[in-house]
A and B are shown apart, each in its own frame.
Chain A
């Protein structure tokens, strides 16, 4: 089943055309990774998909709630971990307290944070904060979970723990769209990969197809990436 569709999305900031007509669909249970150089429009695409930006033109269709995990976590610092997870489901979705708390505890357990219920975000490491923010997004029962470079604010040691969490979610067939710079991760986890360049989708397909693409920009991008890895 198709959960999400974007049709010919265009967005510019002043003279800068950031998105020049993007169309994509997301199927239920699918993991879609979006890769590409900085400034290619990946983040703007995600921000349009999650309604943080309004596209200049085009159409977005979605069924149900969408969640977003930010690069910088954006937890609410004055809320405990538990309240970060439960406040919106209770206040906004008007769900029953007991049910929300039960779900939140399960999610924290899954994230390995069952002992952090009462902690405040400043008391947690970056990796723990990002896991809380993933749990917070999941507690809203979104149909799709979007990730905006979820490991970019973390040092390499902590990156692994977040990638593992996302991998576990993929195993549970949670529908996810992930903007990432972690190429090996994208290759391993994705059902489909999109390579964006200068505001358009330059290459799209299974990881095997995309990572062995003959597209000149894609090869250049991967070349730089591999160079960076060997440095």
Chain B
């Protein structure tokens, strides 16, 4: 197999990896905020459920969670699993896992806010939603950005875990080529791909951080 063929095969895997990356972010970032609200809720039942959720999501391997999401419908409800479900299962598994981490990052940011900001907002008549959306959240985003960047960089590398459900993302294809052609070349290409991807993430997040540097 010449290098061009190999790279074109790997490229189709890259597209899937990038897809997993963006779908996970799009769903886990808002879902994390929702879970964070549950975690900070006054209602003890909601608080307990979300705490347990976060604990399980952070306490077990993502690979295992992917398998549970994939095989769960069959073993729990006897639903026949179609082949196309594997990619959906990856999206779901990644999103609910990353949401748990983001929830804790949000919580850290929200709890670091001085109570004076809430009091000033209350005196000025902002309601709870306005206070959160216009006063608290923008400041929280600035504070949590470095931790969020960390998670996003981990996510780039974690997309390779989708191989466990035989989703043909970058790493799955690299492994297939490597074993059929007995060459390490696909892994070299894979390494470069992940590194460059993360370099881009770092550059973009740095830009965002600089953009939010207009205040302290």
Contact = CB atoms under 8 A, between A and B. Distances in A.
Interface of A: 50-52, 65-68, 70, 72, 74-78, 87-88, 91-93, 120-122, 136-137, 140
Given A78-B139, A92-B130, A50 B123 contact: yes
Nearest to A75: B120
Contacts of A76: 117, 120, 135
A74 B125 contact: no
B215 A92 contact: no
A72 B119 CA distance: 11
B124 A77 contact: no
Nearest to A87: B134
Interface string B124-144: 111000100011001100100
B120 A74 contact: yes
Given A88-B125, A122-B216, A74 B116 contact: yes
A70 B119 contact: yes
A103 B11 CA distance: 60
Contact of A78 (B114, B120, B122, B138): B138
B144 to A, nearest CB: 14
Contacts of B120: 70, 74-76
Contacts of A88: 124-126
B116 A72 contact: yes
A92 B124 contact: yes
A65 B122 CA distance: 12
Contacts of A52: 119, 122-123
Contact of B126 (A67, A74, A91, A136): A91
Given A70-B119, A70-B120, A77-B215, A140 B125 contact: yes
A78 B215 contact: yes
A137 B117 CA distance: 14
Interface residues of B, number: 19
B214 interface: yes
Contacts of B122: 51-52
A74 B119 contact: yes
24 contacts: A51-B122, A52-B122, A67-B123, A68-B123, A70-B116, A70-B120, A74-B114, A74-B117, A74-B120, A75-B120, A76-B120, A76-B135, A78-B138, A78-B215, A87-B134, A88-B124, A88-B126, A91-B126, A92-B124, A92-B126, A93-B125, A120-B214, A120-B215, A140-B124
Contacts of B117: 74, 76
Contacts of A50: 123
A224 to B, nearest CB: 29
B125 A78 contact: no
A39 to B, nearest CB: 20
Nearest to A122: B216
A68 B120 CA distance: 8
Kindly name the residue among B119, B120, B124, B139 whose own CB sees the greatest number of chain A CB atoms within 10 A: B124
Kindly name the residue among A65, A68, A76 whose own CB sees the greatest number of chain B CB atoms within 10 A: A76
A50 B215 CA distance: 29
A87 B116 CA distance: 17
Nearest to A136: B124
Nearest to B122: A52
Nearest to A77: B215
Contacts of B142: 78
B140 to A, nearest CB: 10
A93 B117 CA distance: 19
A70 B142 CA distance: 24
A51 B121 CA distance: 12
Question: Which 6 A-B residue pairings sit nearest by Cβ, starting from the closest?
Answer: A88-B124, A74-B120, A74-B116, A92-B125, A122-B216, A120-B215
